[in-house]
Structure 1
Amino acid sequence: MDLEDNETDTRDSQEVTWARHKKTNDEQSSQAHISAYCMATLVRDETDLDKEELCEMCFNGETTSKPTERLEDSELEGFPMNPKILAKAQRLDKELRKKVEKSKQEYSKKDIEGHTLICYNEKILVPKVLQNRIVAWVHHYLVHPGETRMEKTIGQILTWPKMRDDIRRFVKSCRKCQLCKSAAKKYGHLPAKEAEPSVPWNRVNVDLVERPSADCCQKALDDAWINMYPRPHYIGFDNGKEFKSVFEELVENYGLTKKPSSPYNPQANGIVERVHQVLGNMLRTFELEEEELDGHDPWSSFLSAAAYAIRSTYHTTLEATPAELIFGRNMLLPVQFKADWEAIRARRQAMINKNNERENSKRIAHTYSIGDMVSKARPGILRKLRRKRDGPFTVTHVYTNGTIRIRQGAISERINIRRVQPFSEPETPEA
């Protein structure tokens, strides 16, 4: 299935099916994340304890460990900061005992709930077997705090070597954090586009304020442009369903060359998006809520007035009004105007380069590669508490124009890198 060329209702039905199973999968994912992240460390440390004879821990004359003592599965799966479990794990940690024996003066002890715990800089020293479990427990039960808050919360009472790295690695690979939270960082520099030749009537761009039917799109294009102005060579549009079927038939009948942009990427059709913004601002000045609108045709008079204003107003990049470029004279007085199309193209290219440089200055340098995992921003205006992203998807192709092709199951889609973020899978601790 190729959604770039043939986006059908199949994708909608597949996404509905995916959503039905999503809730169950998400409920299982958090605990699975905890288990996968901790299991290698837990198994490795317990095996080491079985193989080697445990020596006594020398700390202020106390010797408490026994050769047959070990942490039970129920203890590892429970509350990992239980003083009883912490004390037992400290007794069983060979590396910790060696450090204490070597530098006793750097450590202290603290009694908590009747159990003596080894401390470093007045903070409880966490044995290796519990480190990943504590990180996972805090992140899950304190409802997914970020790296800094996690580190500060745990660091108030606990410590261990490379604690910050462990926390950062876990938070970075948390599935729910990656899909549900707003993305503060944007990855991948975007290539600068080349300004198109400034040739009058060469291209028409189509965009929609709402989502009418294909028949409505065809009639609007036919009546408002094809029947009034010279036939364009190119037509630019996004890949929405409205530009299929009947509308596509009209494009073929007039021999137009299609220039589709990636879905939900307004920057790709920036001129029209900017005009829509100006149009919206103009319409607001009419204070339509105070007007008595025609029930049959409420918009025509307001749209005509706004369109006349746009055509008659000076454009800073064009250094002229749109009407002057087309009619060769001013809209208000019979003053002649001659357009310098090459100068206009040069100014447009300079503006494109400037905007591209500004956008890339806020993005982190990143190169997507085939096989990478990414998440995708959900389109449209979402309800406040809805998940913000979908994924993960696998990158199957990388293009040179700032787009990539991603796949999840049978669904394949070409998408601009503005809408994706790198997705990190949980890492398995090294043995």
Structure 2
Amino acid sequence: MKSRGNIAVKIQLTEFGENRKIQWNCAVADQLPYAMIIGRDLIQHLGFVLDFNAGEITWDGVTMSMRSISSQSPGEQAQELQESSSSPPLSVIGQAEARQVEILDADYKKEPLDEQIPDYLSADEQSSLLRLLEKFDTKLLSGTVGSWTGDPYDIPTVPDPVPYHAKPYPIAHSLLGLTKREIERLEKLKIIARDESSPWASPAFVLPKANRTVRLLCDSRRLNKQLVRHPWPMPKINELFRNIPRFVFVTVLDLNMGYYAIHLAHRSSLLTAFILPFGKYRWLRLPMGISTAPDHFQARIDRLLGDLPFVRCYLDDVLIITETDFNDHLQHLEVVLRRLEDAGLTTNVKKCKFAEQEANFLGYRLTTDGIAPQPEKVAAIQRLSATMSKKELCRFIGLVNYYRDVWPQRAHLMAPLTQLTSKLVPWTWTAEHQAAFDKLKASIQRSTLLHYPDYEQPFEIFTDASSYQLGGIVSQAGKPLAFYSRKLTSAQKNYSVMEQELLSIVEILKEFRTMPFDQRITVYTDHKNLSCANFSSGRVMRWRLIIEEFGPTIKYIKGADNTVADALSRLPQDDNGAECNVLTEEIYPLNYSHITQYQSEDETLQAAAVQYPRKFQTKTFGVHKVLLSKAGQVIIPSPLRTAVLDFYHTALLHPGMNRMFLTMSNSVYWPGMRRAVESYVRVCPMCQTWKRSPNQYGLLPEKRHGREPWSDIAVDEIGPYSYSDEPSAPKLYALTMIDLTTNWIEIAPVKDQGAKAASLALDEFWFCRYPRPLRVIHDQGKEFVGKEFQEMLESYGVHVAFAIRATVHTILKASPAQLVFQRDMITDSLFTANWATIYSRRQRQTRRDNERESRARHDHDYRIGTKVLVVKDIRKLPKLAQPTEGPYTVTAVHSNGTLTINRGRYEETINQRRVKPFFEADQA
């Protein structure tokens, strides 16, 4: 089966619940017997359990029966359903509409210029910018296809190329009309033309885009084998960002269909001919997919704008930066726009950003303070679930490496995943890989803002090496400019410690060469021998030549002070003595030598002791003179407070806020210690996930009752019940049904929790007696999501409920029987229901109930990107079981009191009352 390309599809398996959504990349093929075929990769990814003997499918605790293959097409089934049902549920219609993939014609509308003016500019600045843009409105900003002036492009080929003529790819009937209209549009724009003479022909197809437009693509692989590239120095993206100065204003321009602006020579036009089932065409403009196109386009744009120091170009993306004021930025912008217009180019105004202080460019977010990964890209990485194939893992690692300068410890965190991609390592996804995957995503979420280099200031480079990895950071005045980390090769692991430390300096200078070269550089290392200028041995001498190119000053720094670089290169490995000493100091922070050292360095504390001597006292412990409070508590200086909190919370087995504070206050003190304890305990991951908190989160949303009887019913199954206490006694279940407007109830016995028994009971005790409801509300129990119940669409039973039905409801001011039968069931007197009054009365009572219930709950402002814990049903849990699941990231917040969370394998919409917020350290 041939694939014509891939498309991202959002899938909703309603049998398992309407709140679960999956996004998956699917291949598009013609003439499939089904609307979709799910492969083994998706089944494994989601964790489906297929039981063919029982004919059941289980997914995440929900089980449903397998369905038999229908001979009808989906369209015939839908038609039959519509004809057989006089009132199909509205939810079914909505789900059917949501599952449709809508593909529209390519749309290139001109955008209004006034909508592109930033709101934060003053009125005068907005007017000045608008007047400037209006000068170029007719051509450059018109949204049409450009026509680059100059000679047409002649695509270079090998001598005597052999023509290749392919057969056309088949096109699905649903895309045929769309493809023809796109071809007609491109013909009118003179981008392509019909061809009957070219001996060349590559197959072509239409690919739907994420914004529901389409793109014509050609499979030019056979043609590319006979082309000769003339390589042009393409900008390195990381290098490009390192050379951006700190700016005040930035403009991002996107050239409209940039490749199409370049005309092709006639010979080259014949080479690019392509074939479709309904005709043959050739490109008149430079198409995408030609291997020589990027080099040629970058060379042209560099010749056009490359001499402007305030411009950075990467293919059809243009960045204009200004370090001074708004007027200078307008001048820079006008110079660029004038050159582009004179060259015959146009821009896609919708994708342009003019005179902004923040802008997205090549996957990064540029701000006036620094650079960080684009939030949308980070969110996309966060939504990825655990990779289950080697190909997917390679793509994930490639995406992370794109931002390698931004995330510290990248190489260390990725080490288990990188090893798994080797051809020599069998593919087995273990707990170690899952842990590395989770830690890497957590590190990505805490992206560091990288500052712009100031070439008037000296550079500081902190380097370090461990037995398996190099690490370092380039900074200025304590602000990070770039991080570096990578694994050592097998040979490099055998180097001496001094050689590995020196190698870390060499590698970081080479990696960021253009930034510190010919600048004042100080390299800090915790290996004292490197601070001497005496280098020996052949390997070290070669490295010396590299280092001397930069002329750095190498200074020794104590390992304890070189924390950043050390963290990038080191985590505990074997149980050797040195690392045991480090761990001892971390676990027992109440070390008098440390306390006295940091107390003496704390100028604020020393000044307070001199100014208020009655509030302090000193006591000697061995050879250490320790400063205490008046009550005899050890005063903890700032650098040790986090370690002290860690120690007490761990040693006391994760106590609550009050118990931890009371215990600590017996021995230690610092100003604001209670707040520090509360913040620490509040964000402790183990306390949040394992403790059963009495606090309930999520206020009750406004509820709307039905205005007419029989429109909405709710069903549920209760039990099991038994006639005796004997274990062998038969079990009985009951199906309860209630009309949500009149409160009329039916209860039906069912023999088991199967979907078939529930469907028969609902049919017999409700559908055969009362008008058919428009909507049936139920939970996700297997008896309701099963095949038989869903096909039946609701049934409720009657039994032993007369006393309830005949009792006057305190809110309705009438019994359910009076409302249903319009007469009193005891006195046989007539009764007329005022439905408007009943509706109003129920709404008022529901509002009062909601307010009463919400007073006992905590309101929380959930935001996209924050994390939550899903609270399990404690009634069904063993005493020592973990009461929560997660944490999971919130991907959407809805006005009806629900959230959409990313559960890893799928997204789920869940009621806020079933979750509680998960606090992280930066939220303390």
Q: Fold-level match, TM-score > 0.5?
A: yes
Residue by residue over 1:342-390, the C-alpha shift from the partner in whole angstroms, topping out at 9 and shown as x without a partner, is: 2211111111111122222233332222112111111352222211111
Report sequence identity in percent: 32
Q: Is the 8 A contact 1:135 1:170 kept in 2?
A: yes
Partner SS state of residue 338, structure 1: coil
Q: Distance in 1 between matches of 2:826 and 2:904?
A: 59
Match of 1:321 among 805, 815, 833: 815
Return closer, same or farther for 1:150/1:6 CA change in 2, 3 Å cut-off: closer
Q: Shift of the alpha carbon at 1:332?
A: 2.5
What's the offset of the Cα at 1:90? 3.4
How far has the Cα of 1:87 moved from its partner?
Answer: 4.0
Q: Secondary structure at the match of 1:393?
A: strand
Report the AA paired with residue 174 of structure 1.
C
TM-score, normalising length from structure 1?
Answer: 0.69
Which residue of structure 2 lines up, in the alignment, with residue 330 of structure 1?
824
Q: Report the Cα distance in structure 1 between the residues aligned to 2:804 and 2:863, rounded to whole angstroms.
A: 43
Where does residue 628 of structure 2 map in the other structure?
119
Distance 1:78 1:325, change over 3 A: closer
- How far is 1:131 from its partner? 1.0
Corresponding residue number in structure 2 for 1:308 = 802
d(CA) in 2 for partners of 1:328, 1:426: 62
Residue in 1 that maps onto 2:907: 412
* 1:143-181 deviation line (CA, Å, top 9, x unaligned): 111112211111122101221222122111111111122
Q: Distance in 2 between matches of 1:157 and 1:354?
A: 50
Is the 1:118–1:125 contact (alpha carbons within 8 Å) kept by the matching residues of 2? yes
The change in CA–CA distance for 1:221 and 1:99 in structure 2 (over 3 A counts) is: same
- Are the counterparts in 2 of residues 108 and 119 from structure 1 also a CA contact under 8 Å? yes
Q: Which residue of 2 aligns with 1:135?
A: 645
* Deviation of 1:404 (Å): 1.0
* Residue number among 202, 212, 224 corresponding to 2:765 in the alignment: 224
The answer for the alignment partner of 2:695 in structure 1 is: 185
AA in 1 matched with 2:589: P
Q: Could you say if the C-alpha distance between residues 113 and 376 of structure 1 is closer, same or farther in structure 2, counting changes exceeding 3 Å? A: farther
Rounded to whole Å, the distance in 1 between the matches of 2:614 and 2:559 is: 27
Question: Does residue 76 of structure 2 align to residue 76 of structure 1?
Answer: no
The answer to whether 1:9 aligns with 2:58 is yes
Hey, what does 1:394 align to over in structure 2?
889
Q: Is the 8 A contact 1:80 1:137 kept in 2?
A: yes
1:361 aligns with 2:855: yes
Give, in whole Å, the separation in 2 of the partners of 1:356 and 1:333: 36
Distance 2:655 2:829 in 1: 65
Q: Is the 8 A contact 1:76 1:130 kept in 2?
A: no
Please give the residue correspondences for 1:239-258 in structure 2 after superposition, counting only pairs within 5 Å: 239-244=780-785, 245-251=787-793
**Which residue identity lines up with residue 616 of structure 2 in the other structure?**
Y
> Do the aligned residues in 2 keep the contact of 1:195 with 1:352 (CA within 8 Å)?
no
Which 10-residue stretch deviates more, 80-89 or 347-356? 80-89
Change (3 A) 1:74 1:192: closer
Mapped contact 1:330–1:337 kept (Cα < 8 A): yes
Read off the aligned partner of 1:333 and give its amino acid letter.
Answer: T
SS in structure 2 opposite 1:109? strand
Code of the aligned partner of 1:5: E
CA displacement, residues 285-311 of structure 1 (integer Å, 9 cap, x when unaligned): xxxxxxxxxxxxxxx9xx833x12211
More strand by share: 2
- Report deviation, 1:226: 1.0
Query: Structure 2: which amino acid aligns with 1:399?
Result: H
Give the direction of change, closer, same or farther, for the CA distance of 1:368–1:359 in structure 2 (3 Å limit): same
The residue identity in structure 2 corresponding to 1:338 is T
The answer to which structure, 1 or 2, has the higher relative contact order (CA under 8 A, 6+ apart) is 1
Q: Which has the larger radius of gyration?
A: 2
> Does the residue aligned with 1:336 lie in a helix, a strand or coil?
coil
Match status 1:107 vs 2:616: yes
Residue 150 (structure 1) aligned with residue 199 (structure 2): no
Q: Where in structure 2 are there 5+ consecutive unaligned residues?
A: 1-10, 21-56, 63-384, 389-429, 447-556, 564-580, 720-751
Q: Which amino acid aligns with 1:342?
A: A
| Paired positions, count | 341
Distance in 1 of aligned mates of 2:684 and 2:431: 19
Contact 2:636 2:668 in 1 (8 A): yes
For 1:236, the aligned partner's letter is: I
Alignment of 1:220-299 (within 5 A): 220-244=761-785, 245-251=787-793
Which residue of structure 2 aligns with residue 284 of structure 1?
none
2:587 and 2:647 in contact (8 A); partners too: no
Q: Hey, what's the Cα distance between the residues in 2 that align with 1:125 and 1:311?
A: 70
Matched AA of 2:588: F
Check whether the contact 1:203–1:234 (CA below 8 A) recurs between aligned residues: yes
- SS across alignment from 2:609: helix
Residues 11, 411 of structure 1: 8 Å contact kept: no
When residues 376 and 88 of structure 1 are mapped into structure 2, their CA distance, relative to the original with a 3 A threshold, is same
Report if the CA contact (8 A) 2:865-2:890 is conserved: yes
- 1:417 CA drift (Å): 0.5
Distance in 2, matches of 1:427 and 1:5, equals 34
Structure 1 residues 234 and 10, CA gap change in structure 2 (3 angstroms):
closer
Judge conservation of contact 1:207–1:238 (CA < 8 Å) in 2. Answer: yes
Taking the aligned partners of 1:322 and 1:12, their CA distance within structure 2 comes to: 37
Q: CA separation of 1:47/1:114 partners in 2, compared to 1, >3 Å: closer, same or farther?
A: closer
> Which residue does 1:384 correspond to in 2?
879
Deviation of 1:111 (Å)? 4.1
**Contact kept in structure 2, 1:75 and 1:85, CA below 8 Å:** no
User: Paired residue for 2:595?
Assistant: 86
- Alpha-carbon distance between aligned partners in 1 of 2:712 and 2:803, rounded to the nearest angstrom: 22
User: Does the CA contact (< 8 Å) of 2:614 and 2:630 recur in 1?
Assistant: no
Distance in structure 1 (CA, Å) of the matches to 2:583 and 2:880? 35
Match of 1:47 in 2: 561
SS at match of 1:239: coil
- 8 A Cα contact 1:108 1:120, kept in partner: yes
Q: Counterpart in 1 of 2:454?
A: none
Q: 1:316 to 1:95 in 2, by over 3 A?
A: same
How much has 1:139 moved relative to structure 2?
A: 0.9
1:206 aligns with: 715
Distance 1:114 1:313 in 2: 84
The SS at the match of 1:335 is coil
Q: Distance in 2 between matches of 1:80 and 1:99?
A: 23
1:373 matched to 2:882? The reply is no
Q: Deviations over 1:118-159 (max 9, x none)?
A: 112222111223211111111112111111221111112210
Q: Deviations over 1:195-248 (max 9, x none)?
A: 220x22222211111481111111111111111222222212223332222211
Q: Which has the higher helix share?
A: 1
Structure 1 residues 335 and 86 mapped into 2: Cα distance closer, same or farther (>3 Å)?
same
Query: 1:109 and 1:45 mapped to 2: Cα distance?
Result: 31
CA-atom RMSD in angstroms: 3.7
Post-superposition CA distance 1:48-101 (Å, at most 9, x none):
99xxxxxxxxxxxxxxxxxxxxxx735532322344553454345555445435
Q: Deviations over 1:11-66 (max 9, x none)?
A: 24999x9xx969x97xx99xx9xxx9xxxxxx9995399xxxxxxxxxxxxxxxxx
2:628 is paired with a residue whose SS is strand
2:561 aligned counterpart, secondary structure: helix
Deviates more, 1:233-242 or 1:343-352: 233-242
Specify which of 828, 833, 843 is matched with residue 349 of structure 1.
843
In structure 2, distance between residues paired with 1:326 and 1:342:
16
1:425 and 2:920 are equivalent in the alignment: yes
SS in 2 for 1:333: coil
Give the match's secondary structure for 1:193.
coil
Does the 8 Å CA contact 1:215/1:247 hold for their aligned counterparts? yes
CA distance in 1, matches of 2:620, 2:558: 29
Paired residue secondary structure (1:209): strand
SS at match of 1:143: coil
Q: For 2:686, which of 176, 181, 204 is the aligned residue? A: 176
